[in-house]
Amino acid sequence: MSKLVWATHERACALGQRMYTDPVTGFEVFTERGLRARDRCCGSGCRHCPYRHERIPFEQRALRIQRPALLAGRLETGVSYTALPWRNTAASHDIAHASHRRLVLVCPFSAFDRTVADGVKVAALVEVAAAHAMPLLGLPLPAGRSLGEVMQDALRDFPLVDILRGDLTAPEWRELQAVNLPLVAERNQQ
């Protein structure tokens, strides 16, 4: 997907439309507004699903989600969490084990090939998170959307109050700073 697709979706939402024509494929696509009218997730992995892909079975989510969604574990109702961007490095493991915060592992990955850094499949990280009994929030990054935009979606849709640096690269961290997300400085991660 390209920036044009996302801009077309935004324009359709602003006009109150339930569907729009994808400018790349020519297919008719439901807007987030159109999907909200259904009152629940249909389980199809819709591009603009406003229901956190809740009807897609956990074991299939890493392969199908288009928006931020839990890939492992669960979040307690009424509890606020800190996001720990995670790619399964030793540094993020140390932060997770030393932190006194309620953490959600957050894994940005390519929505195209379903990989994180170094070609590791996101499904492999789901297994590791489950083995550590940690909730894992998947952040699929489609072409045309930045990490900052997708992280803003996650902060809006899940009970996340701030973000640790975790396994983010320096350019990714600067990108989140540029869009004024609630970041926790490196020295305060533990």
Q: Within a domain: residue 5? A: no
Residue 58: inside a domain, yes or no? Answer: no
Provide the pLDDT for residue 1: 53
Q: Is residue 101 domain-resident?
A: yes
Q: Is-above-0.75 flag for pTM?
A: yes
Give kind and range of the element (H or E) at residue 114. Answer: none
Closest CA to 150 of 102, 60, 83: 83
Give me the percent of the chain exceeding a pLDDT of 70. Answer: 96
Judge whether 84 lies within some domain: yes
Asked if residue 28 is part of any domain, the answer here is: no
Decide if 21 is inside a domain.
no
Range of the domain at 108: 63-188
Tell me: the pLDDT tens digits for 123-135? 889 988 988 899 9
For residue 86, report the phi and psi dihedrals to the nearest 5 degrees: -140, 130
Residue 104 lies in a domain: yes
Domain total in the chain: 1
Q: Is 42 part of a structural domain of the chain?
A: no
Per-residue pLDDT tens for 17-33?
999 998 888 889 999 89
Asked if residue 60 has pLDDT above 90, the reply is no
Instruction: Tally the residues of the chain.
Output: 190
CATH number at residue 177: 3.40.50
Return the H-helix or E-strand segment holding 160. Answer: strand 160-163
Q: What is the mean pLDDT of residues 154-181?
A: 92
Q: How confident is the model at residue 11 (pLDDT cuts 50, 70, 90)?
A: very high
Count of Cβ atoms closer than 10 Å to residue 105 Cβ: 27
